């Protein structure tokens, strides 16, 4: 019984008999030997066994997917693993946020210059030199502009 059916990828690699209730069999089918080989190389079969034992059956497939992803990342980047990918992407996000903030600040500067060029009816002589007066009519722009300046200052 069970002798003719092919063992799962784990048991095949570990050269052992694949029991009917083999914990690896549902997640490491024989047609995808690389999937187990890579997690075995990074985490070790007995550790994977222990981790799966501690989980509920409905959580195991997700755990295996995560282990496979992390193992692949660890092979690509032995020092940082998937943390390397995460920090690379976070870096890209903050660079793009910076570029966006600068572009928005430039847009606001141009808008402020345009407001300055056109005559303003409620012109206040006391605040003649303060830039706030030019964008007083558009409080949203002022708040947005100040927030952008804050972002730019924080990222320097």
Chain positions contacting Zn ion, by CB under 5 A:
8, 11, 18, 22, 24-25
Q: Please, what is the minimum distance in Å from the beta carbon of residue 80 to Zn ion? A: 32
Cβ pair 85, 104 in contact under 8 A? no
Q: Please, what is the minimum distance in Å from the beta carbon of residue 45 to Zn ion? A: 10
Q: Please, what is the minimum distance in Å from the beta carbon of residue 14 to Zn ion? A: 8
Is the CB of 17 or the CB of 147 nearer to Zn ion? 17
Is the CB of 11 or the CB of 71 nearer to Zn ion? 11
Is the CB of 9 or the CB of 148 nearer to Zn ion? 9
In the Cβ-directed half-sphere of 13, how many Cα atoms lie within 13 Å? 21
Q: Please, what is the minimum distance in Å from the beta carbon of residue 24 to Zn ion? A: 5
Is the CB of 6 or the CB of 99 nearer to Zn ion? 6
Place of tokens 């206040």: 124
């Amino acid at each position: 019984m069970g002798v003719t059916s092919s063992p799962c990828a784990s048991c095949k690699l570990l050269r052992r008999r694949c029991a009917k209730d083999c914990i690896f069999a549902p997640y490491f089918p024989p047609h995808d030997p690389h999937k187990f080989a890579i997690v075995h190389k990074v985490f070790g079969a007995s550790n994977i066994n222990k981790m799966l034992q501690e989980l509920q059956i409905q959580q195991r497939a997700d755990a295996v997917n995560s282990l496979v992803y992390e193992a692949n990342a660890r092979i690509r980047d032995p020092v940082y693993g998937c943390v390397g990918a995460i920090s690379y992407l976070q870096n890209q996000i903050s660079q793009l946020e910076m570029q966006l903030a600068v572009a928005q600040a430039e847009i606001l500067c141009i808008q402020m210059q345009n407001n300055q060029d056109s005559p303003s009816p409620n012109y206040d002589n006391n605040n003649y030199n303060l830039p706030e007066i030019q964008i007083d009519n558009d409080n949203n722009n002022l708040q947005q502009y100040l927030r952008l300046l804050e972002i730019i200052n924080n990222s320097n």
